[in-house]
Amino acid sequence: MTWIYKYDEDFIYIPGEDREIKDEEAIPDFYTDVKPPDGLYKPKYNASKNKWDESATQEYIDSLRPPDPGPSEIEVLQKQVADLYYLIALGGA
């Protein structure tokens, strides 16, 4: 048995459409037996090289990342306490 991986007419991988075929079966159109590697955001099959490439733009990849949450409440409080200690130390000199 061989796993095959589906791509659309633009050669973009279609997740969830993987399937297994018998070894003697021909690979249907819009499928390949080359597994897309982990880590690609939008795998695109390159038939001439028989491999998957990244087709996502950096802008698209950045849009998938969650925004920076900023400092936590504890970090803010720690900084405020450190600032107060500094002010107290200056006042005592």
- The answer as to whether 74 is a domain residue is no
| CA 80, 84, 89, 93 torsion-angle sign | positive
Whether the model clears a pTM of 0.85, i.e. scores above it, the answer is no
Mean pLDDT on 17-25: 95
- The answer as to whether 38 is a domain residue is yes
Residue 93's pLDDT is: 53
- The answer as to whether 30 is a domain residue is yes
Please, what's the b/e burial string for 19-31 (b: 16 or more CB within 10 A of its CB; e: otherwise)?
Answer: eeeeeeeeeeeeb
Mean pLDDT on 3-23: 97
Is the pLDDT at 38 greater than 80, yes or no? yes
Number of structural domains, the chain?
1
